[in-house]
Amino acid sequence: MDELLFGAAYYDEYLPTDRIATDVEMMRAAGITVVRIAESTWSTLEPQPGVFDFTHVDRALDAFEAAGIHVIVGTPTYAVPAWLVASYPDVLAVTDAGEGRYGARQIMDITNPAYLLHAERVIRALLAHTAPRPGVIGFQVDNETKHYGTAGPAVQRRFVKHLREEFGGDLDALNAAFGLDYWSNRVDAWEDFPDVRGTVNGSLGAAFDRFRRGLVEEFLAWQAGIVREYARPGQFVTQNFDFDWTPGWSYGLQPAVDHFRAAAAVDVAGVDIYHPTQSRLTGKEIAFGGDMTRSIKGGANYLVLETQAQGQLAWLPYPGQLRLQAYSHLASGADGVLYWHWHSLHHSFETYWKGLLSHDLASNPTYEEAGVFGREAARVGGSLLHLRKHNRVAVMVSNEALTALRWFTLETGFIDGVFGSSAGYNDVLRWVYDALFDLNAEVDFVPADDADLGRYDVLVVPALYAAPQATVDRLDAYVRGGGHLVTTFRTAVADEHLAVWHDTAPHGLTGVTGATYNQFTVPDGVGLTLHGDLAGAAGAEAGARTFLELLRPDGAEVLASYDHPAWDGYAAVTRHRTGSGSLTHLGTMTSPELLRAVLGLVLRDAGVADWAQDLAGTVTVRRGTNAAGRAITYLLNYSAEPVTFAAPVTGRSVLAGADVVAGAEVTVGAWDLLVLES
């Protein structure tokens, strides 16, 4: 699409009255150009098996086509109708919690034949009906697809077959790779394979999770294949990816899907991004989600298929925030922003996940502010569309490491929850991501099997607990090839089966790290002493957190050491140069301030520091090149106070139209932004 998409999900099915004409009018007034329909409405589309009813779909298509509003049609498969479960109860996923009960969405076994048969039937009917419509620009297959913890007998049987294939039928190899000798867990006959839901073996448990992530990839590819049988040229296929939601919003890497692999099934990546607002709006979740979604399709632009309008109760945006959020998505490379959803629901689970319209379906401040953005976007969208990033910094992420750190948590060493709670993988990932964001250092994400790391000047690798030898070798080669690598505690601990390496740690990296350790603990009143380039940096007083490697330098320079009666002979942060490359290693979790200081050193070392770091703490900088090849510079103020600073570049203010000269004093208001095109 060569236009900025701005819109919302629309459910004619859920509206209490016939008001589509009014809605279309209000949408047009707000500059809305696209709606997303049909997702999760299976029971309306097919009220009884094989009986289809396209009334609502047709009404929507007719009205939006007439108004020139584009439509994305979602397949309805992520919420199953009651009749399907009534006839085939095993459509419901059996999980760790046992048998399921009908009611919520996302409760089915995505490998169940009855589910797949009926899903295919409704997809084909819907596609045959809608693909020919000129207003339809693309299709979303399913929604926020995951494996839902499916662990019934059929899934487990497939998993055993999968293991048999992976290990070439060699049970001894499997027992050795997974360490099943421990606690008498060996399996010496395939038919003895136990219900994996009870396992205490992290290798086996993680393999099951990886296998189930594979089911998601298979399912999405299967759906996309069906859809493509009907899609016309130019109609895209997307999926609405989402993130780890631990604190109650889009927070980190999705545990149940490998986005890098799953994204292969779609033409355009879609995503949903939800986040705190009001005094807690920082832009970090928008940037994180955007950087991730762009990265999983190799830097391509993506669609924000869902983000909050009024959202949950605590998310009602302050004046200015909704508009700032919309531009924030564009600043990460989004080509479209769609709200979930147009109207607040009058019933059921998400009644207070509020849309652009409140329950009274009338105008309100949030809707009005959306219109401000919509009308601006109609005017200047061409300058902002198709933003390309040229990031020189990357962060390596890994579903395998995330899963591993649930079996062997940072702060307890045991299965999550067994001996208390612990920070997790995403807490470390966000610790490094947020520090880079705060430094105005934009990043791409790369998966652990990325074979071309050398395209980045700086590579940050948080808590890569488990990785195959090939990844370790590539990290070593990256430094030796002149790259600037940053590693944290709990990196290169175990192989891809979660077997801890039995040589000197960090495995395979001791040469480039220039430091080793063979003991570690959790910090308890451990301070930090800074040295060398890091001396005098802010944030040391918070001390060491979460994990403590007792590092012994072997060639590396010590940037920080522990301040503690028992541990003060050990290093906490080291830097080691190998040729023109370097490896900076963080043996503990520092304060955000101190991490920024460490990363600031690396950026300077790598020659990727520029004026953006000077603006850190004043405004957020996000950059790229637009379709016309011009440089776009976003200067975003995520605060309730206006900020004034010298313009870092010369350019035309895209929103104000005026020219700004580098060095001239500019002011950006509370929850406002300046976009320069140079």
Residue numbers belonging to the annotated binding site for substrate? 105, 143, 315
Evaluate whether 587 touches 571 at the Cβ level (below 8 Å): yes
The residue within the footprint of its own copies, chosen from 2, 18, 165, 191 (CB under 8 A), is: 191
User: Which contiguous run of DSSP H or E holds residue 603?
Assistant: helix 592-605
Dihedral angle of Cα 496, 499, 505, 508, to the nearest 10 degrees: -40
Contact string 282-321 vs its own copies (x = CB under 8 A) = ----------------------------x-xxxxx-xx--
Q: Does 180 bind its own copies (CB under 8 A)?
A: yes
* Most distant CA pair in the chain, distance: 76
Tell which positions 353-392 bind its own copies, by CB under 8 A.
353, 358-362, 364-366
Report, in Å, the least distance between residue 207 CB and its own copies.
Answer: 12
User: Can you tell me the distance from the alpha carbon of 621 to that of 443, in angstroms, rounded to the nearest whole number?
Assistant: 12
Tell which positions 113-132 bind its own copies, by CB under 8 A.
none
Report, in Å, the least distance between residue 112 CB and its own copies.
Answer: 16
Q: Does 178 bind its own copies (CB under 8 A)?
A: yes
Q: Under rule CB under 8 A, how many of the chain's residues touch its own copies?
A: 106
Q: Does 179 bind its own copies (CB under 8 A)?
A: yes
Evaluate whether 270 touches 240 at the Cβ level (below 8 Å): yes
Contact string 526-545 vs its own copies (x = CB under 8 A) = --------------------
Quickly count: other Cβ atoms within 10 Å of residue 256's Cβ. Answer: 19
Report, in Å, the least distance between residue 677 CB and its own copies.
Answer: 31
Evaluate whether 42 touches 372 at the Cβ level (below 8 Å): no
Please, where are the H alpha helices in 234-388? 259-262, 284-296, 321-332, 365-384
The residue within the footprint of its own copies, chosen from 7, 31, 74, 100 (CB under 8 A), is: 100
The residue within the footprint of its own copies, chosen from 267, 350, 554, 614 (CB under 8 A), is: 350
List the strands of the sheet with 651-653, edge to edge.
620-625, 631-636, 673-677, 651-653, 659-660
Tell which positions 230-259 bind its own copies, by CB under 8 A.
248
Evaluate whether 26 touches 358 at the Cβ level (below 8 Å): no
The residue within the footprint of its own copies, chosen from 125, 300, 499, 616 (CB under 8 A), is: 499
Tell which positions 202-221 bind its own copies, by CB under 8 A.
202-203
Q: Looking at beta carbons only, is 239 or 321 nearer to its own copies?
A: 321
Tell which positions 48-67 bind its own copies, by CB under 8 A.
48
Q: Kindly indicate which of the ranges 410-418, 583-591, 609-617, 624-632 contains the residues binding its own copies, using the contact rule CB under 8 A.
A: 410-418
Tell which positions 634-653 bind its own copies, by CB under 8 A.
640
Q: Looking at beta carbons only, is 278 or 469 nearer to its own copies?
A: 278
The residue within the footprint of its own copies, chosen from 47, 132, 298, 642 (CB under 8 A), is: 47
Q: Does 667 bind its own copies (CB under 8 A)?
A: no
Report, in Å, the least distance between residue 268 CB and its own copies.
Answer: 25
The residue within the footprint of its own copies, chosen from 111, 130, 199, 332 (CB under 8 A), is: 199
Q: Kindly indicate which of the ranges 215-223, 333-341, 470-478, 494-502 contains the residues binding its own copies, using the contact rule CB under 8 A.
A: 494-502
Q: Does 468 bind its own copies (CB under 8 A)?
A: no
User: Can you tell me the distance from the alpha carbon of 84 to that of 113, in angstroms, rounded to the nearest whole number?
Assistant: 12
Tell which positions 542-581 bind its own copies, by CB under 8 A.
565-566
Q: Does 18 bind its own copies (CB under 8 A)?
A: no
Q: Quick one: CA dihedral 617, 619, 620, 624, positive or negative?
A: negative
Catalytic residue numbers read 144, 306
Quickly count: other Cβ atoms within 10 Å of residue 89's Cβ. Answer: 12
Question: Annotated binding residues, as ranges?
Answer: 105, 143, 315
Q: Does 134 bind its own copies (CB under 8 A)?
A: no
Tell which positions 598-637 bind its own copies, by CB under 8 A.
none
Q: Which two tokens stand for residue 627?
A: 């379709």
Q: Which two tokens stand for residue 275?
A: 């986040």
Give the CA angle between residues 524, 543, 426 to the nearest 5°.
85
* 3-class secondary structure per residue, 389-406: CCCCEEEEECHHHHHHHH
User: Can you tell me the distance from the alpha carbon of 371 to that of 51, in angstroms, rounded to the nearest whole number?
Assistant: 39
Residue 650 buriedness (CB in 10 A; 0-12 / 13-18 / 19+): middle
Chain centre distance of CA 1: 23
Q: Looking at beta carbons only, is 320 or 483 nearer to its own copies?
A: 320
